[in-house]
Amino acid sequence: MSKVRIAGTGLTRFGRFPDRTGRDLFAEAGLAALDEASVEPGDVEHLYFGNFMGELAEHQGHMGPQMAEAVGVRAPATRYESACASSGVAVREAVRTVRTGEADVVLVGGAERMTNMGTAGATEGLSIAADDLYEIRAGMTFPAAYALMARAYFEEFGGSAEDLAHVAVKNHEHALPNEHAQFRSSITVEEALDAPRIADPLGLYDSCPITDGASAVVLVSDDYAERAGLDAPVAVTGTGQGGDNLALQDREYFARSPATADAAEEAYADAGIGPDDVDVAEVHDCFTIAEVLAVEALGFYDPGEGIGAARRGETTRNGDLPVNLSGGLKAKGHPVGATGVAQVVSLARLLSGTHPRASDAGDPRVGLAHNAGGTVASATVHVLEVVA
């Protein structure tokens, strides 16, 4: 099977752009990725696009062909929807397409337009990633759902709101030099703890923002990279996907993430590595407790140990395993359909030395991207390596 190399990456700034359309955002990211890769739109054989709520935010379905047109691609184009894991799933399908030899060049990306809906509209739109019959109609929102998960974690393993505040402080600090991040300002633990409570024990700084933005990567085969003379030293060497029951009340665990664990097990086996081989990670921290659950499910920490990782400095930029050097969803922003690919972009740039936090990571050779949907009813994990 061919190695799947990352030939080019593209990102918009993440933030509030209510007057920009989804196609406008994706055109910026997609064309930047093609330009960086020195790949012509006519060479793209498939376009895979992640988006969660285009029908609600823009009254627009059938977005694959629309995004292909926006970047000048005349090729089959497919939209993938898996809540906040939409473009993580798109990356997985793109990797498999290149590996099997079906295509040599795939453009994969995602975009979401959310701020035009307002806070109430975006909150309602996001809620459809939960179970309508048993959760949404009862008034469940995602801050409330993750608050339940945090309470369950504290009850089973211990921990406190102060531990979660350290996660928020860390990710805000990581985002400071990231020109694409929505929030580039530092916060203190005290400020995080004093902020308004959103759903106890989660406060304002425990929650990711509502965000507009787009991301894209060009994936190519070894053969194409060699024929075209491309400099593409970073490859996706492992991919995995896991799932769980949609509604929280139907889960075996509130304080663990089996979907992530299953996706990680598959991705590690696919890449031929283990969690100890990972140098840097981008994980799905839609809420601070989500990062804690992720680092445990990914095998970086035993259950109950991840809660203190940021406080101990282990996941900071100078720690043993830097997590979310981009700022994560918490500070970089979370345009849900774009997030999975944006994580891959951040890692590709860290591994190639072009990310503003690259020097903090030392000389990383292996990165991991974890993207989750809803309350982690779906999850993808991708392993990236420098293969030269």
- What are the tens digits of pLDDT across the range 117-175? 999 999 999 999 999 999 999 999 999 999 999 999 999 999 999 999 999 999 999 99
Q: Prior bond to 201 cis, omega within 30?
A: yes
| DSSP character at residue 216 | E
Residues 48/219, Cβ–Cβ less than 8 Å:
no
| Helix (H) or strand (E) segment spanning residue 328 | helix 328-332
Is 293 among the domain residues?
A: yes
Lateral strand order in the sheet of 105-112 = 77-80, 46-50, 105-112, 213-221, 4-11, 234-243, 378-386, 366-373, 280-282
Name the CA dihedral angle for 260, 290, 216, 272, rounded to a multiple of 10 degrees. Answer: -30
Is 141 among the domain residues?
A: no
- CA 84 and chain centroid, separation: 8
Is 185 among the domain residues?
A: no
Amino acid 194: pLDDT = 98
Q: Range with the lowest mean pLDDT among 121-125, 267-271, 313-317, 360-364?
A: 360-364
Is 54 among the domain residues?
A: yes
Count: domains in the chain: 1
Please state the φ and ψ torsions of residue 26, each to the nearest 5 degrees.
-70, -35
Higher pLDDT, 321 or 361: 321
CATH of the domain at 352: 3.40.47.10
The set of catalytic residues is: 84, 334
Is 282 among the domain residues?
A: yes
| Domain containing residue 241 | 4-118+209-386
**Helix (H/G/I), strand (E/B), else coil: 131:** coil
**Helix (H/G/I), strand (E/B), else coil: 337:** helix
Is 151 among the domain residues?
A: no
Is 238 among the domain residues?
A: yes
Q: How many Cβ atoms are within 10 Å of 359's Cβ, its own excluded? A: 10
Model confidence at 282: pLDDT above 90: yes
Q: What separation in angstroms does the CA of 385 have from each of 205, 344, 365?
A: 32, 11, 6
Is 200 among the domain residues?
A: no
- CA 228 and chain centroid, separation: 30
What value does the mean pLDDT of the chain take?
97
What is the average pLDDT across 100-108? 97
Residues 171/330, Cβ–Cβ less than 8 Å:
yes
Query: Which pTM does this prediction carry?
Result: 0.97
What is the distance between the alpha carbons of residues 91 and 348, in angstroms, rounded to a whole number? 13
Model confidence at 1: pLDDT above 70: no
What is the average pLDDT across 270-282? 98
What is the distance between the alpha carbons of residues 204 and 388, in angstroms, rounded to a whole number? 43
Model confidence at 2: pLDDT above 90: no
